[in-house]
Amino acid sequence: MTEPEDGPPTNLAAEPTGSGPDIDPDLDPDAATGPVEAGPGDGETEAEPEDFEGPRRRARRERAERRAAQARARAIEQARREAKRRATGQVPTEPKPVARGVVRGLRMLLATIGLAVLGVVLGLILYFTPAMSARDIIVVGTGAVTREEVLEAAQVRPGTPLLQINTSEVADRVAAIRKVASARVQRQYPSALRITIVERVPLVVKDFADGPHLFDRDGVDFATEPPPPAVPYLDVDNPGPDDPATLAALKVLTTLRPEVASQVGRIAAPSVSSITLTLSDGRVVIWGTTDRAEEKAEKLAALLTQPGHTYDVSTPDLPTVK
């Protein structure tokens, strides 16, 4: 064995032998620090690091980045629009939330519309079908006027739907009867029509060539027939509802007390200022004008209790008896 000239003796047995490759400590740090010990999982695939990004995670990240970029773009665009509005003097208004009262009002409006539509449909059914028709016609208030006269004037065909009957027109036709003062027509659901009339009452009578004519309190000549008992005769030139003398005489009769009016046999009115009454026993009452009629009627009722032939109440302050 030959020893080297310098340095410590070299142990040749310590040098690696065999066919394995030489390991450079500068290229393999693990080789420089010594052999690596095998762990408990030696021989298995090493676990992925925590920051390992698979395809799914990468796709989620990319989607999140795109959404964030879109949100930033929208924010930038909104800021640009608001800046433009401020520059032009337009103040953006935020939409106000719908009030609860508005929602309630809308619901009520829809409900009202629904009820209106339902009412229209029901009305059409009742108007065009005999579900509610005039199967019975009731006439009330007849006396001198017969039921047949009223039905003939009404011209309502039995079975006509009640909604098709014009009650005003029917009332006008019935009121055209001479002895009828007024008429009222009412629908009585489900199947009746009620006609109520008010007959004219004779207040005075005047003789004409064709016979006695009866006049009511309005001066209407409504009948030509013998008068009922205790109806006074009217003595005017042109009796009628438009004659001032006739209206003045009728006003006097309607103002008298009932016990005095029943004694009047004739009333004469040559003019509106010279009205006289002739009682059934022959006594005469000078009435004068229609002024202070109520006061004159009260004074006359008191004067008639006194004996006399002529009673003058034309001046109610100084009534006289002769």
* Structural domain spans, the chain: 133-199, 204-321
**Average pLDDT value for residue range 102-131:** 77
Q: Which strands make up the sheet holding 192-199, listed edge to edge?
A: 136-140, 192-199, 180-188
- Judge whether 180 and 198 are in contact, CB under 8 Å: yes
pLDDT in the model for residue 117:
83
Interval 2-25: pLDDT, tens? 444 444 444 433 444 444 444 444
Instruction: Flag whether pLDDT at 124 surpasses 80.
Output: no
CATH for 133-199, options being 3.40.50.1820, 1.10.10.60, 3.30.70.1350, 3.10.20.310? 3.10.20.310
Please state which of the ranges 48-57, 88-97, 201-210 shows the lowest mean pLDDT.
88-97
Cβ neighbours for 194, distance < 8 A, ≥ 6 positions apart: 138, 140, 185, 186, 187, 188
CATH 3.40.50.11690 is the classification of domain 204-321: yes
Selection from 241, 230, 243 nearest residue 204 by Cα: 230
pLDDT in the model for residue 44:
44
Structure tokens at 260: 């005095």
pTM higher than the cut 0.75: no
- Judge whether 135 and 188 are in contact, CB under 8 Å: no
